[in-house]
């Protein structure tokens, strides 16, 4: 089985100030996928059974574009790829990068606050979901009312840092294909109370596995995988 150990790095431009540019957490995800995807398996999942992948909070679109490049190099890997973001400018940015990488109309984009604007026909359909969520505690509260604008959406995970993610996993359950094995990949930070996150994950019926860690400045960023 040959690994996908090289790929054309997507050309990424980020002309919008409120869109999160690729950073260490982004590349922690991409590096892991580079290591664990081969001609037969996607991190242990049979590659032929993966029909739909979602890149939640796509930002510049780099992860969705990376996966699209992988589909061009693995014969049996041909999922529909979806990318969503709460920000209109992120969707614009990702579409610009899709065009600059000559991948027009190969990715389905959805502007949505988590799953709130997803069509009903996408329920029970995703085999893999990737989410690099806002995972830092908020510094901007006024009388317990959150003030969040623009680029804050990329880092502000709520008062304790994990409220957005907890909302995500509670909604994600309805959109996963539970008839077979599925994975959710997400980033967390040592700054947030990880034990609280684990408790919330277990309450939603998921098992958590830590895949990779990287120390950056004041925190460890952690790549995790959820499964049933």
Structural domain span for residue 79: 24-227
> What token pair was written down for 199?
């408790």
pLDDT reported for residue 195: 79
The region, left, alpha or beta by phi > 0 then psi within -120 to 50, assigned to residue 217 is left
Residues 6+ apart with CB under 8 A from 185: 29, 32, 128, 129, 130, 131, 211, 223, 224, 225, 226
Quick check: is 8 in a domain?
no
At 18-46, the pLDDT tens digits run 999 999 999 999 999 999 999 999 999 99
Quick check: is 14 in a domain?
no
% the chain with pLDDT above 70: 85
The region, left, alpha or beta by phi > 0 then psi within -120 to 50, assigned to residue 26 is alpha
Kindly indicate the confidence band of residue 169, based on its pLDDT and cuts at 50, 70 and 90: very high
Q: How many domains is the chain built from?
A: 1
CATH number of the domain to which 85 belongs: 3.40.50.150
Kindly indicate the confidence band of residue 147, based on its pLDDT and cuts at 50, 70 and 90: very low
Quick check: is 10 in a domain?
no
Quick check: is 211 in a domain?
yes
pLDDT reported for residue 145: 45
pLDDT reported for residue 112: 97
Quick check: is 11 in a domain?
no
pLDDT at 151 over 80: no
Kindly indicate the confidence band of residue 6, based on its pLDDT and cuts at 50, 70 and 90: low
Quick check: is 12 in a domain?
no
At 120-129, the pLDDT tens digits run 999 999 999 9
Quick check: is 7 in a domain?
no
Mean pLDDT value of segment 151-163: 53
pLDDT at 143 over 50: no
């Amino acid at each position: 089985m040959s690994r996908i150990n090289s790929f054309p790095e997507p050309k990424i431009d980020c002309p919008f100030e409120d869109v999160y540019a690729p950073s260490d957490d982004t590349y922690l995800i991409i590096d892991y996928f580079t290591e664990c995807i081969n001609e037969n398996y996607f991190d242990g999942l049979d590659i032929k059974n993966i029909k739909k992948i979602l890149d939640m909070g796509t930002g510049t679109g780099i992860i969705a574009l990376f996966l699209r490049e992988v589909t061009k190099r693995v014969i049996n890997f041909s999922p529909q790829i979806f990318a969503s973001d709460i920000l209109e400018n992120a969707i614009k940015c990702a579409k610009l990068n899709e065009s600059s990488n000559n991948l027009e109309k190969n990715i389905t984009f959805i502007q949505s606050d988590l799953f709130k604007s997803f069509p009903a026909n996408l329920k029970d359909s995703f085999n893999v979901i990737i989410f690099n969520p806002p995972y830092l505690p908020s510094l901007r509260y006024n009388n317990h009312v959150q003030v969040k604008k623009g680029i804050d959406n990329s880092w502000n995970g709520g008062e304790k840092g994990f409220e957005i993610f907890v909302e995500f996993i509670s909604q994600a359950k309805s959109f996963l294909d539970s008839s077979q094995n599925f994975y959710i990949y997400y980033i967390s930070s040592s700054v947030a109370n990880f034990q609280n996150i684990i408790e919330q994950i277990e309450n939603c019926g998921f098992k958590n596995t830590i895949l990779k860690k990287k120390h950056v400045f004041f925190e460890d960023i952690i790549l995790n995988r959820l499964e049933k």
